[in-house]
A and B are shown apart, each in its own frame.
Chain A
Amino acid sequence: MLFFSFFKSLVGKDVVVELKNDLSICGTLHSVDQYLNMKLTDITVSDTDRFPHMISVKNCFIRGSVVRFVSFFEWLWVLLTKFGQG
């Protein structure tokens, strides 16, 4: 529940999701549910040589069970939460 709330507060921010098959997807977090299934919009994938099928995908749903980790630019997030309101 704690992590679910945390991810909900991250909605709209840019995140990098790495999957268990080494595919890492950078995109804007659009939504998240209780299983930590996620939907990203405006995605980019750096290793398109290994994952050519991802080039033409613009937004995607990721099943929570295949995620290895999610990372994001914490400094940016801190900046946004601290100074973004004013």
Chain B
Amino acid sequence: MDLPDPYLPGAISLFEQLDKKLLVVLRDGRKLIGFLRSIDQFANLILEDVVERTFVDKFFCETSQGFMLIRGENVELAGEIDDNIPTNLTQVSPEEFRMIEDDFLARNPPKSLKRPTAAEEHEA
């Protein structure tokens, strides 16, 4: 078995990403992007210059969140971002984003998780 040297397993492996631009996905699906300043064994993270990115279709919008300590249990995934990779996504302002989102939801209504009522089933 040839493990890399030094072998930094699991949460500690994030030390390699110190001061890099990191995308953190939280358990509730929120995406935060910031510069990693510190971590510990629980994957508690300290991020600087954080922005929250929201996506719809091929567009995204950023809202500034400042400095942040994220409790490890809420972290789902943390990945280093390479800005050189083309994404085909367009950044828009929050106002534009709201319009795009409304338009997108009108065209693609979210599927209801509720069971259809007897009357609705009869209609269909």
The docked-state distance in angstroms from the alpha carbon of A55 to that of B53 is 14
With a cutoff of 8 Å between Cβ atoms, the chain B residues found around residue A65 in the complex are: 73
- Report the nearest A residue to B82, measured CB to CB: A58
Tell me, rounded to whole Å, the shortest Cβ–Cβ distance linking B111 to chain A.
14
* Residues of B31-55 whose CB lies within 8 A of A: 31, 43, 53, 55
With a cutoff of 8 Å between Cβ atoms, the chain A residues found around residue B9 in the complex are: 31-34, 37
Overall SS of chain A's interface: mixed
The docked-state distance in angstroms from the alpha carbon of A61 to that of B112 is 33
Neighbour of B11 across the interface among A11, A33, A55, CB < 8 A: A33
* Residues of B63-82 whose CB lies within 8 A of A: 72-73, 75-82
- Report the nearest B residue to A36, measured CB to CB: B10
Q: Contacts A31-B13, A35-B10, A37-B43; is A56 near B76 (CB within 8 Å)?
A: no
Are A60 and B79 in touch, CB under 8 angstroms? yes
Q: Mark each residue of chain B from 1 to 27: 1 if its CB lies under 8 Å from any CB of chain A, else 0.
A: 111100111111110010000010101
Are B53 and A34 in touch, CB under 8 angstroms? no
The docked-state distance in angstroms from the alpha carbon of A38 to that of B13 is 9
Tell me, rounded to whole Å, the shortest Cβ–Cβ distance linking B50 to chain A.
14
With a cutoff of 8 Å between Cβ atoms, the chain B residues found around residue A30 in the complex are: 4, 13
Number of A-B contacts (CB under 8 A): 100
How many B residues touch the partner, as a band? 35 or more
Residue tally, chain A, CB below 8 Å to B: 32
Neighbour of A56 across the interface among B25, B78, B81, CB < 8 A: B81
With a cutoff of 8 Å between Cβ atoms, the chain A residues found around residue B85 in the complex are: 55-56, 58
Name 28 interchain pairs, CB-CB below 8 A, sorted by A: A8-B1, A11-B1, A21-B76, A23-B77, A31-B4, A31-B7, A31-B10, A33-B12, A35-B11, A39-B10, A39-B13, A39-B14, A53-B23, A53-B25, A56-B87, A58-B80, A60-B23, A60-B80, A61-B11, A61-B14, A61-B17, A61-B78, A62-B76, A63-B43, A63-B77, A65-B73, A66-B27, A66-B77
